[in-house]
Amino acid sequence: MRVLVTGASGFLGRAVAAAIVAAGHEVRCFQRRPSGVTGATDALGSITEPSDVAAAVAGVDAIVHLAAKVSLAGSPAEFDAVNVEGTRSLIAAARAAGVHRLVFVSSPSVAHSGSSITGDDALPADPEHARGDYARTKAAAELLALAADSEDLRVVVVRPHLVWGPGDTQLIARIVERARAGRLPLLGHGAALIDSTYIDNAADAIAAALERVDAVHGNAYVITNGEPRPVAELLAGICQAAGVATPAWSVPAGVARAAGSVIEAAWRVFPGDDEPPMTRFLAEQLSTAHWFDQRRTRADLRWTPAVTLNEGLARLAEHYRTA
């Protein structure tokens, strides 16, 4: 099968492209800079340029779409252009090129409205109540993708949750950086149970979804390790693996949420050079439970995670020891 992977220069996209290559498929990677994926070819361009998109999809049988603007802050128009309109352009190009399979990589945040998620399956994407422009636009894009599902273009949605592992410059790097600087508090008591996903498991699950599109199209699946841990325990494990101090102070969850709302508003007027230190969405994610029923995901995709959280933390520790 000839497969286009968009966003393959990112942490998850690169791992997904490598997993699909390893499965024996011919892979083309589409993004703005070289992917560095051994065994794949690159088609450089932007998801916001229809001509680049049309050239990238030409001649492929299937698409795995990961390209997105992922951030806690930024211009709402840019989120819309990349996440919504880029997806719309990709679907149109796929139809025109006769592509028959599409795996849309989404996020559980598309169905998160601020309250705890305790053992739910994939809830419907809800752009109206999603927290922040990333979740809002990913929710809208997911609905576009599912609306395009047909016998001619079969679409499946996967939502990997809190993907982490060695080499992650987003979640892991930010946790470690803030812990090293003494700026990583617990919100509340740190007892909320949260799911996460080790990078190899996330990539393998998405590759499995590609193989199963014909059988499961029209559905959305949340992907996790299936090992919910208290947020304090997960943060401590990451910090210990990186050799930095674990969080030693806490902030009431309500205070953090209120502060996040204020910081978000200020960031829109006076944006900093990096991510805001707190947003309401981030405060909610760190202080509410969010873990998911994985039975349907595993049965339908015929996939189970190969790397446990403890093994993932051991690999993360080895990465920091040898870096």
Instruction: Calculate the average pLDDT of the chain.
Output: 89
Average pLDDT rounded to a whole number, residues 232-256: 82
CATH superfamily of 2-163+197-224+292-306: NAD(P)-binding Rossmann-like Domain (3.40.50.720)
Average pLDDT rounded to a whole number, residues 92-118: 91
Tokens of 138: 């990913």
Whether 134 is catalytic is: yes
Does residue 74 carry a pLDDT above 90? no
CA distance 191 to 194: 9
> What distance lies between CA 171 and its chain's CA centroid?
11
**What per-residue confidence (pLDDT) applies to 266?**
56
CA distance 92 to 145: 11
Of the residues 134, 198, 221, 320, only one is catalytic, namely 134
In angstroms, the Cα distances linking 82 to 9, 68, 76 are 16, 6, 10
**What per-residue confidence (pLDDT) applies to 301?**
98
**What per-residue confidence (pLDDT) applies to 46?**
96
pLDDT digits (tens, 9 = 90+) for 138-184: 999 999 999 999 999 999 999 999 999 999 988 888 888 888 888 87
Query: If we measure between CA atoms, which residue out of 104, 227, 107 comes closest to residue 160?
Result: 107
Which of these ranges, 155-164, 212-221, 231-240, has the smallest mean pLDDT? 231-240
Residue 84 neighbours by CB under 8 Å, 6+ apart: 137, 140, 141, 144
The residue written with tokens 């947003």 in the block is 279
Whole-prediction pTM:
0.92
Q: Where does the pLDDT of residue 90 fall: very low under 50, low under 70, confident under 90, or very high at 90 and above?
A: very high
Element containing residue 316 per DSSP (H, E): helix 309-322
Q: Where does the pLDDT of residue 253 fall: very low under 50, low under 70, confident under 90, or very high at 90 and above?
A: low
Residue 120 CB neighbours (<10 A): 14
pLDDT digits (tens, 9 = 90+) for 257-275: 665 555 555 556 666 666 6
Between 182 and 36, the more confident residue is: 36
86 phi and psi angles, rounded to 5 deg: -60, -40
pLDDT digits (tens, 9 = 90+) for 118-137: 888 999 999 998 888 999 99
Mean pLDDT comparison of 46-55, 161-170, 186-195, highest-scoring range: 46-55
CB 196 within 8 A of CB 234: yes
Kindly report the length of the chain: 323
Average pLDDT rounded to a whole number, residues 76-102: 96
